[in-house]
Amino acid sequence: MIRIAPVGRALAVVAATSLALTACGGGGGDTATQASQSAAPASSAPAAKGDGTLTLGTLLPQTGSLAFLGPPEFAGVDLALKEINEAGGVLGKPVAKFDTDSGDTTTNIASQSVDKLLAQKADAIIGAASSSVSESVIDKITGAGVVHFSPANTSDKFTTIEDKGLYFRTSPPDKLQGRVLGDLIIADGNDTVGIMAMQDSYGTGLADQVQKTVTDGGGEVVERVDYDPKAADFSADVAKLKAKNPKGIVLIGFEETAKVVQELVKQGMPADKHKWYMVDGNTSNTNYVKMPKGTLTGVKGTIPGAAAPEEFQKKLTAVDPDLEDFSYAPESYDAANLIALAAEAAKSDAGVDIAAKLMEVSKGGTKCKSFKECVDLLKAGTDIDYDGVSGPVEFDEAGDPAVATIGIYQYGDDNKYAPKALEYRTGNIAG
């Protein structure tokens, strides 16, 4: 067991295999709304009274650099709400939902979407996918006494961010993903490594952890380029890597990674000569399919989350028949279920009351795996421990999952990664 010390707590990572770790526009929704009245501010967040109808808002990418993550995230929320409402809803009423677009950091779409959701009296907002986008709106959401719950934020900043006790996430901090990826790179025999990382809180934070892990594991990061993701051309950045000729190349970014990949090939650094590694922000089944076959053969990528069961995938495709990528669908599904269960446990749909019960419903009680199973136990007076599709989600005091899993995926000749990971590695986050 290796212990890493992030701010305020330690991270213990245990390999799931014998390889030891040494080192992850506003669409329409239901149209029901609720009336919410603000009371005097509480010590941590504004106090509010709900009207008995739980209203969820989604702030997920329909446009922008993470748009490929939108469909599975929306599908995860929609599937959860379908099952919740089929089981009788929350507090005896159907859950209402409004969908909006988070866009990305090049636009003001997220802020406008949050304004819309707050006007629609959302009790909890699920999103954004991008850590930087969430960081830009967290004050507006939590300042209104609304739960801010992301299924995909991985930036380490959120562990200590001022959130009035209202921010939660089902994806793990990047210290875990970075440690798993760095360990993988060393285990694959890469003693020299080049890193290209987008310059924002997500990219630089994850690159820092990968670099530390590679160095601690005996490797050398011979070149690191933190680039502007909005740049029109990456030839100079790739040239810096080429000059150092690293065995392994780590690509940390979003959709602009497709341009980086094309430049790597152009400058004679293809994946069959250097080992490429990607992360959750760019491990996609849509971004590279138009490239020549074999461009990404053998490339590995890490994505937080346990294996999505085949039955769960079938349910998701019933909700969205065009779904090709399942990234963060389990985390989105679990986010909606946990919010609903916390509202039931609190006997209130107010954001502050929901937040106060999220830790309680995620650990320490009788284990249950579906909303119906869990809510029946709650109604019988039983303390519950919801274990989700994304894994056992046990929140710590920071709103981070105390237990998380990182999957390691590999691309085939069709420039798509196999839906089944090569392996999964699980980490425990101790307070």
Q: Is 232 contained in some domain?
A: yes
Q: Check whether residue 275 and residue 341 sit in a common domain.
A: no
CB distance 23 to 180 below 8 Å: yes
CB–CB of 411/301 below 8 Å? yes
Helix (H, G, I), strand (E, B) or coil at 268: coil
**For residue 259, with 0-12 CB atoms within 10 Å meaning exposed, 13-18 middle and 19 or more buried, which class applies?**
middle
- Same domain membership, residue 153 and residue 80: yes
Q: How many domains does the chain have?
A: 2
Residue 24 is assigned to a structural domain of this protein: no
Specify whether 54 is located in the same domain as 41. Answer: yes
User: How confident is the model at residue 46, as a pLDDT?
Assistant: 57
Residue numbers in the chain where pLDDT is lower than 70? 1-49, 428-431
Q: What local confidence, expressed as pLDDT, does residue 152 receive?
A: 95
Which pLDDT tens digit goes with each residue over 407-423?
999 999 999 998 889 99
CB 218 within 8 A of CB 191: yes
241 and 336 in a single domain? The answer is: no
Judge whether 32 lies within some domain: no
Asked whether residue 6 is assigned to any structural domain, the reply reads no
**CA trace torsion 145, 71, 111, 46 (10° rounding):** 0
Contacts of range 238-243, beta carbons closer than 8 Å, 24 or more positions apart: 238/196, 238/263, 238/264, 238/266, 238/267, 238/269, 239/267, 241/194, 241/196, 241/269, 242/267, 242/268, 242/269
Residue 17 lies in a domain: no
Does 27 map to a domain?
Answer: no
pLDDT of 8 reads 32
Same domain, yes or no: 188 and 262? yes
Helix 329-346 to helix 371-379 angle, to the nearest 10 degrees?
A: 10
| Same-domain check for residues 67 and 123 | yes
Same domain, 384 and 424: no
Residue 21 has a pLDDT of 32
Look up the domain containing 192 and give its range: 174-304+406-430
Q: Is 380 exposed, middle or buried (0-12, 13-18, 19+ CB in 10 A)?
A: exposed
The answer to whether position 4 is within a domain reads: no
Residues 50 and 126 both lie in one domain: yes
d(CA 212, CA 219): 10
Q: Are the C-beta atoms of residues 255 and 65 closer than 8 Å to each other?
A: yes
In a shared domain, residues 44 and 63 = yes
Note whether 127 and 192 are same-domain residues: no
Based on the fold, state whether residues 289 and 418 are members of the same structural domain. Answer: yes
127 inside domain: yes
> Domain containing 45 — which CATH number?
3.40.50.2300
Indicate the pTM of the whole model. Answer: 0.82
What is the Cα–Cα distance from 255 to 263, expressed in whole angstroms?
A: 14
Q: What angle do CA 188, 190, 194 make, to 5 degrees?
A: 130
Residue 329: partners with Cβ closer than 8 Å, 6 or more residues away: 72, 73, 75, 76, 308, 312, 316, 323
288 with 426, same domain: the answer is yes
Q: Can you give the pLDDT at residue 48?
A: 58
Amino acid at 237: D
